Amino acid sequence: MPLRDAAHSACVSRGFLHSWRCHPNLNFTKKTLCLKRNASGKGDMARRFNERVDHILKNHSGIGVKTLNLEIPYYCKFDACRLNHWLQIAIAPGIEVVTLFLPENYKTKYSFPCSLLFSGCGNSIRYLRLNYCAFRPPVGFDCLRSLTKLYLYDVCITGDELGNLFSNSFALEQLELLSCGELISLRIPFWLERLSFLDVFGCKMLQVIEIKAPNLHNFKFYGGPVHLSLGESSQVKNLDFELSNFGSSVSYAITELPSTVPTLETLKLTSYRERVDTPMVAEKFLILKYLDIYLSGENEPIPADYDYLSLVSFLDASPALETFILTVNQNDVKHDSVFGNASHMRHILGPKHDRLREVQINGFCSAKSMVELACHILENATSLESLTVDTIFDMFADGDVRSCSIQKKSECSPIPRDIILEAHKALRAVNTCIVGRVPPQVKLNVGEPCSWCHSIVDANLL
């Protein structure tokens, strides 16, 4: 019910007035408070936001609140006393969800008052989400015993303060830390037995991650190189891994992760401007079944001397691998084309990939080393069932139905003409170098340029 209608109903109905004052879900946003910009501008909207939240909380009994969602618009002036007063009314025994969205300029000015969580007020909270503020749990913090999900975005908190929070948060199941700039070390203790999901993104000062939680199965990491260690009882099975501004995420992963995370079954790697060929290693991913590698030039071409065939090292290091996906996203292709040296295709001797069943290469191009990689897989993956090579990379693709010539509607996403030309060269490479090597039991799927949007009239351009 819109706020205005609710207010009118409360004026004529004591029952409705009572229910309004005990309403369990408090959702304060610009939309729910029906704030629209008028001639008075942002200053008037800020005043009306504050007045309406003040009025609602002043008339609320503070009893029975289950959910608090407070999204303060960026144009509201900072007032710590007023914000603390709002939180004091809403955060009462029995509350389960607290979400606090603050403007970015609050980050250095506002510290979430941990004292509001004392006296049992915080022990019913199951979900806590904070952004753009400081959060300083003190030593002996014993206030979030029912917490299952914690989400901190751009929050000032140290590793020791997180440790104070973890000391009694035995029910924690999901932890997400994004852009927490004061975090240098992150230690996940063994008593967080229910923790199954950890996401660490863009914590630029982070140097050490130590995980002892025994049932953490899903781990997503984006950041700089860190010292990663896992306890003997750790069971991380799914890892989504990206090193920022490093240029050798794939090489780092194959050299460091087999011994650090030996329980991996699924591994997703993202690398921007990968500069180092994948080395051969002795360590193995003994139970890795799914490998997804994403390479991007990030508005630059992938280095011309990068050797896609070196990725065979990852296949050799993963004897149980069943699915391999390689996605290459680049705006330009600088590699030597297979057509300039097709008679000297390299062959790598090594173990057979006898568990590999499905392989997909998105953004397949005519680079000699990429064609060699596809041919190596066809020759050495004895259990291969399907090989998909997609010559047009489209990050907005929806499964196989990507081009408008298949959908017969709209248009394909705009693609630079150089990439369209390269896609036609890649299709020619598939027909020339790959089709004849496909065993009878293997299904070859080829993603071609759209016949409507990606046609090439002048064949001499190829």
pLDDT of 399 = 43
Q: What is the pLDDT of residue 400?
A: 45
Give the pair of three-digit tokens for residue 273.
């401007």
Our measurement of the distance from residue 104's CA atom to the centroid of its chain's CA atoms, rounded to an integer in Å, reads 22
77 class by beta-carbon count within 10 Å (0-12 exposed, 13-18 middle, 19+ buried): exposed
Dihedral of the alpha carbons of 188, 194, 197, 200, in degrees to the nearest 10: -20
Mode of pairing for the β-strands spanning 443-447 and 197-201: unpaired
Distances (CA, A) of 20 to 7, 54, 58, 385, 431: 9, 15, 12, 61, 70
pLDDT recorded at residue 458: 53
Q: What is the pLDDT of residue 398?
A: 46
All residue ranges of the chain with pLDDT < 50 are: 3, 9-19, 39, 398-401, 459
- Are 49 and 73 in contact, with CB atoms under 8 Å apart? yes
The strand ranges marked E within 338-451 are: 358-362, 386-390, 443-447
Question: What pTM, to 2 d.p., does this model score?
Answer: 0.87
Residue recorded with tokens 């953490």: 216
* Per-residue confidence (pLDDT) for residue 43, from 0 to 100: 73
